[in-house]
Amino acid sequence: MSELTLVQAVNRGLAEAMRADPDVLVLGEDVGVNGGVFRATDGLLKEFGADRVLDTPLSETGIVGSAIGMALYGLKPVAEIQFLDFIYPAFDQIVSELAKMRYRSGGQYPCHVVVRAPYGGGIKGGLYHSQSTEAYFCHTAGLKVVVPSTPADAKGLLLSAIADEDPVIFLEPKRIYRSVTGEVPEGATRVPFGQARSVRSGTDVSLFAYGAMIPVVTEAATALEAEGISAEVLDLRTLVPLDEEAVLRSVGRTGRAVVVHEAARFCGFGAELSALLAEKAFYSLKAPIARVTGYDTPFPYALENVYLPSVERVVAAARETVRAS
C-alpha cells in the first residue's frame, strides 16, 4: 500500500500495465517528454522509450484512428485525449469505428482501445476544459464507460480497462486529481467493472453519484446526518456496464433517490438512472426521484460554482425527498 493522489494512481496503473505486458503502449498529445499536461504519464517515456510512449501530432482523430489500427494489429494502445472537451474530432472514430468494429465484422475484428480523458469542472476551465459529456458515450452500444473517484479505484479500474477485451472510455475527474489522496494497493489489484462501491450506508435516502461528485455527495451525507437524515452513498464506478442490482437494492432499502452528476440534466446519465428506478423500483419509492446536476446551459466560466452541484444543493434535494413522505 502507498498513499497516492488520484493522478499518481493513474500513472502507477499505466506503468504497471506497461511493465506487465509489452503490447501496452500509450499515445497522445504531450504524453512523452512533457509527461502529460496533468503529469499522468510522467516518467513513462524514460522507462519505456519512444516506441511505447508516442508523442503524437495534434489530431484527436489521428490519435484514436491510429490506436484502432494498432489494436487491430494486436497491440494494446491506451490513448490520451488531453481534455474530454477536445474529444469530438475523434467522435467519428470512437462512435462509428471503435464501438462497432467487433459487431460489424461479426466478431472477426475485436478492437480493444482504452481512451483516457480528464473530464469535469471546478478548475476554472470555462467552456472547453470543464465538460462532463459521458452520456454521449453511454448512449453508444459497444463502449464501456468508467469513472473512478478514488486513487485505489483509478488504478484498479484502469488495470481492468487495459485487461478488458472491449473498448473503454476512461474518464478521470481532474478536479480531484490531486485533492483526493488514498491508499492504493501495490501490484495488479484490479477493480472489476459493473460493481458499484458503497461509500456509506444509510436508511432514509440513496445518493447516487460518480467521479468528482463523490466527495460532494459524501460531505452532503455528513451534513444530512447532523439533521437526523441517514443517507446512503453509492459510487457507480462504471456507467457501462451499470450495477443495476446495487442501485435497486439501495432504493429498496431507503425508498428515496437523489441522482447527482455534473453533466447537464436533459438526457444526462441521471435520466437513465431515474428511468431505471421508475421502471423497476416504482413500488419501493416513497417520494419523487430528485436530480441534482449541471444546468442545461453551456458550461460557464465565471459562474461555474453556480452551475456545479454543491453540497447545499444535494442536501436540499435529499431533505425534500424525505419531507415528501
Partner 1 sequence: MATSQARSSPGPDGAEGLSGERLVGAYRTMVLARTLDERCLALQRQGRIGFYAPHAGQEATLVGSALALEPDDWVFPAYRELAVALVRGVPLQAIIDQLFGNADDLCRGRQMPNHFAFRDQRFVSASSPIGTQITQAVGAGIAAKLRKAPIATITYFGDGATSSNDFHAGLNFAGVYRAPTVFLCQNNEWAISLPREQQTKSATLAMKAEAYGFPGVVVDGNDLRAVHAAVRRARARAVAGEGPTLIEAQVYRLGPHSTSDDPRRYRPDAQVDAARQRDPVHRLRAELGTAGLLDDAADAKIAEEARAALTAAIAHAEAAAPVEPLSLFDDVFARRTPRLDAERAEAAQHLAEAKRP
The CA–CA distances, whole Å, from 296 to 267, 292, 306 equal 10, 12, 12
H/E/C letters for each residue in 58-106? CCHHHHHHHHHHHHHHCCEEEEECCCHHHCHHHHHHHHHHHCCHHHHCC
Residue 28 binding partner 1, by CB under 8 A: no
Query: Pick from 15, 20, 37, 72: which binds partner 1 (CB under 8 A)?
Result: 72
Residue 67 binding partner 1, by CB under 8 A: yes
Query: Pick from 6, 101, 138, 162: which binds partner 1 (CB under 8 A)?
Result: 101
Whether 167 and 143 have beta carbons less than 8 Å apart is answered as yes
Q: Which three cell numbers stand for residue 193?
A: 467493472
Residue 25 binding partner 1, by CB under 8 A: yes
Place of cell 441517514: 230
Instruction: Give the nearest distance from C-beta 176 to partner 1 in angstroms.
Output: 28
Instruction: Give the nearest distance from C-beta 95 to partner 1 in angstroms.
Output: 9
Query: Pick from 74, 279, 282, 323: which binds partner 1 (CB under 8 A)?
Result: 74
Q: Which three cell numbers stand for residue 52?
A: 511505447
Question: Which range, of 91-99, 147-155, 228-236, 251-259, touches partner 1 by CB under 8 A?
Answer: 91-99
Cα–Cα dist 321/316, whole Å: 9
Site string for partner 1, 32-61 (x = CB under 8 A): -------------------x--x-xx-x-x
Question: Which range, of 108-116, 201-209, 253-261, 281-289, touches partner 1 by CB under 8 A?
Answer: 108-116
Crossing angle for the helix pair 213-226 and 311-323, to the nearest 10 degrees: 50
Which is nearer to partner 1, 278 or 303 (by Cβ)? Answer: 278
Residue 65 binding partner 1, by CB under 8 A: yes
Which is nearer to partner 1, 117 or 318 (by Cβ)? Answer: 117
Strand pairing report for 197-200 and 231-235 = antiparallel
* Long-range contact pairs involving 31-36 (C-beta distance under 8 Å, separation at least 24): 31/55, 31/56, 31/80, 36/80
Which is nearer to partner 1, 237 or 256 (by Cβ)? Answer: 237
Tell me if residue 139 is catalytic: no
Residue 75 binding partner 1, by CB under 8 A: yes
Within 256-315, which residues bind partner 1 (CB under 8 A)? Answer: none
Q: Tell the burial category of 176 from Cβ atoms under 10 Å away from its Cβ (0-12, 13-18, 19+).
A: buried
Q: Which three cell numbers stand for residue 299?
A: 458550461
Q: Residues 6 or more apart from 7 whose CB is under 8 A from it?
A: 38, 39, 40, 154, 172, 177, 178
Q: Active site residue: 112, 129, 139, 261, which one?
A: 129
Instruction: Give the nearest distance from C-beta 273 to partner 1 in angstroms.
Output: 13
Within 157-196, which residues bind partner 1 (CB under 8 A)? Answer: 164-166, 194
Cα–Cα dist 267/161, whole Å: 26
Cα–Cα dist 285/275, whole Å: 13
Catalytic residue numbers, as ranges:
129
Q: Which spans of this chain sit near partner 1 (rule: CB under 8 A)?
A: 25, 51, 54, 56-57, 59, 61-62, 64-75, 77, 89, 92-93, 96-97, 100-110, 141-142, 144, 164-166, 194, 240-242, 244
